[in-house]
Amino acid sequence: MEYVILFYEGKESMAERTHPEKSEVYWGGWMSYMKAVDEAGIGRGGAGLQTPDTATVLSLKNGKKHVQDGPYADTKEQLGGFSIIDVPNLDAAIEWASKSPAFAKGRIEIRPALQTP
Amino acid sequence: MSTEAEIEKVIEKIMKASYGKLLSALCSRSRDLEACEDALASAFSQALDTWKGGHVPNNPEGWVFHAAKNKLIDQKRKENRKFENRSTLVQLEEEKSFQEEFDFKDHRLRLMFVCSHPSIDESVRTPLMLQTVLGLDSAVIASAFLTSPAAMMKKLVRAKQKIKLAGIAFEVPDINSLSERTEFVTEAIFAAYGKSWDSLGLIDTHLTDLNEEALYLSNLLVELLPNEPEAKGLLAFILFCESRKSARRSNIGEYIPLDEQDVNIWNRAYISQAENLLQDAFSKGRLGRFQLEAAIQSAHCARVKFKMNNWTAILKLYDGLLSIAPTTGAVIGRINALSEVQGLEIGIEALKNLPPEITQNYQPYWALKASLLFKLGRSTEAINAYDIAIGLSQDEAVKNFLRKKMV
């Protein structure tokens, strides 16, 4: 079964990505996690996301294409990336998600992937 | 040839005795609880139509299982057709393995652990088990959990959707998450046993027979979790209560309260088995709700040996129980013990201090209040309380017992 794992990170954790001293630990953690997922043969893709202030929001207003900078939700934790894994059941997905660096520093949401008809 | 009434009886019997077993065997493969419930319901009505005018098969339970299984396989086939982008070969392969993996085994305990998964809303875990494993209808469950049938129904449906879509494993969890999930399993078995206890004098035998199911499941749980003291506590509790079953009614069906029961007909074998279990549970050094519930029953059963109740010990046990699981039943039980130890007036005072919203419709509250007032000689107030207690009782034998007290 395919699950999408959504990693939510706090602002501090996201700032570690480019922090002079902390970035090595930050990236090291994610790299070894992604490697373990690969080794297990369960990875089905995913990506890390740039910080929310880089987001462009697109909508249709009065029949016109409307493009704007934000507004993004200013919550404590932001979507920092996602990964798709193929595992037998929810417990296995929980097990994998809890191995990720986001488990200690943020919040993780696990959603079953929608099967296309 | 069997008459339609006879066949209906056979079917009703299977529904009562084997519902949870059938359902758990079906969903061990399909995970879709609602689809399994529907398949089972239509298999029962198919059985009625097919057996009518002919004979009931040798293994009616197995017949119903296969009929329900076939319905699920048909449904799977139909669903598969919706996924047009998959090759026919892949589809056939899937259907074949789906079909082969059905296995008519008792998976009730596994289903209970599915229902207690942490990703399911906590408040619906026990009700969900009562509905799927023990076959209680949602109205009965709603009344036990003090909510409306419609609200309970909605919660149950949502939980079943979650199990299906989130891909919760149909397995007994690994040892790390066992104990947090065991709590909900023990609670469901306890609730089912309580339902059967309260319905001893009622016509609906399904509820009355729940004691057998509860005893069976708690035995199974002890086997599965030999190191879990709460599982042993629960089994001990049930055995203590069951030991007194035949003493709860006279030969002509009159209600006999605990303190008037003939201890000579209590089941000694059950009592000693329960004592051993409880000792074993205590030795683990992890006290919990069901060990305390069992210890209270043990103290009552000690009357066999000592000819009297040790109310001081019972009161202490209730204090412990209330600190872990403050249920209304335990609150009333404690006040009863309190009145035995510290006197009737103190008991009445304690009853007065309870919030009316929890006592208003609670029969044991009114029955205890009536009895305390009566002993204090406050007969007008006692009669009023007895009246309300009678109105809140379902059981005719209990009503008669209370009526006699009023005279």
The pLDDT, as a whole number, for residue B1 is 57
**Which of B28, B86, B119, B180 should one mutate to test binding to chain A, selecting the residue with the greatest count of A CBs within 10 A?**
B119
CA B47 to chain centre: 28
Contact B21, B106 (CB under 8 A): yes
Nearest residue of A to residue B79, measured between CA atoms: A117
**Cβ pair B82:A90 closer than 8 A:** no
CA distance, residue B169 to nearest chain A CA (Å): 5
Q: Which of B82, B84, B167 sits opposite A90 (nearest CB)?
A: B167
Whether the CB of A93 is below 8 Å from some CB of chain B: the reply is yes
Closest by alpha carbon to B237, among B204, B201, B191, B181?
A: B191
List Cβ neighbours of B84 (8 Å cut-off, separation of 6 or more).
A117
DSSP 3-state assignment of A62? Answer: coil
Contact B317, B299 (CB under 8 A): yes
The pLDDT, as a whole number, for residue B204 is 59
Nearest residue of B to residue A2, measured between CA atoms: B167
Q: Which of B165, B168, B177 sits opposite A89 (nearest CB)?
A: B168
The pLDDT, as a whole number, for residue B13 is 85
Q: Which helix (H) or strand (E) holds A60?
A: strand A56-61
User: The tokens of B64 are what?
Assistant: 């119903």
**Cβ pair B83:A112 closer than 8 A:** no
Dihedral sign, Cα of residue B378, residue B383, residue B388, residue B392: positive
B177 interaction partners in chain A (CB closer than 8 Å): 91
Q: What is the DSSP letter of B343?
A: -
**Cβ pair A91:B173 closer than 8 A:** yes
User: The tokens of B10 are what?
Assistant: 């056979």
**Cβ pair B169:A116 closer than 8 A:** no
User: Residue B307 region, left (φ>0) first, then alpha (ψ -120 to 50), else beta?
Assistant: left
Whether the CB of B41 is below 8 Å from some CB of chain A: the reply is no
Task: Classify strands A2-10 and A106-112 as parallel, antiparallel or unpaired.
Answer: antiparallel
**Cβ pair A112:B117 closer than 8 A:** no
What phi and psi values does residue A73 have, to the nearest 5 degrees? -65, 125
The pLDDT, as a whole number, for residue B308 is 81
The pLDDT, as a whole number, for residue B304 is 82
d(CA B386, CA B80): 62
Whether the CB of B169 is below 8 Å from some CB of chain A: the reply is yes
Task: Classify strands A106-112 and A56-61 as parallel, antiparallel or unpaired.
Answer: unpaired
Q: Which residues of B33-57 are buried (b: 16+ CB within 10 A; e: fewer)?
A: bebbbebbeebbebbeeebeeeebe
Nearest residue of B to residue A3, measured between CA atoms: B166
B113 interaction partners in chain A (CB closer than 8 Å): none
CA distance, residue B105 to nearest chain A CA (Å): 22
The pLDDT, as a whole number, for residue B24 is 92
Closest by alpha carbon to B189, among B137, B244, B113?
A: B113
The pLDDT, as a whole number, for residue B205 is 58
d(CA B322, CA B65): 44
- pTM for this structure? 0.77
User: Residue B222 carries which side chain, given as an amino acid letter?
Assistant: V
Whether the CB of A114 is below 8 Å from some CB of chain B: the reply is no
A108 interaction partners in chain B (CB closer than 8 Å): none
**ipTM confidence score:** 0.76
Nearest residue of A to residue B84, measured between CA atoms: A117
d(CA A80, CA A52): 8
The pLDDT, as a whole number, for residue B86 is 64
The pLDDT, as a whole number, for residue B139 is 84
A89 interaction partners in chain B (CB closer than 8 Å): 167-169, 171
What does the pLDDT profile of chain B (407 residues) look like in tens digits? 577 888 888 888 888 788 989 999 998 888 889 999 999 999 999 999 999 877 889 999 999 999 999 999 998 888 777 766 666 777 677 677 777 766 677 788 889 889 999 899 988 998 999 899 888 888 888 877 778 899 999 999 999 999 999 989 888 887 777 777 888 899 889 988 988 887 776 665 566 778 888 998 899 899 888 889 999 999 999 999 999 999 999 988 899 999 899 999 999 999 999 999 999 999 999 999 999 999 999 999 988 888 788 899 999 999 999 999 999 999 999 999 999 999 999 999 999 999 998 888 899 999 999 999 999 999 999 999 999 999 998 888 899 999 998 87
d(CA B181, CA B110): 11
**Cβ pair A117:B117 closer than 8 A:** no
**Cβ pair B168:A116 closer than 8 A:** no
What does the pLDDT profile of chain A (117 residues) look like in tens digits? 999 999 999 888 999 999 999 999 999 999 999 999 999 999 999 999 998 888 888 999 999 998 888 766 677 889 999 999 999 999 999 999 999 999 988 899 999 999 876
DSSP 3-state assignment of A65? Answer: strand
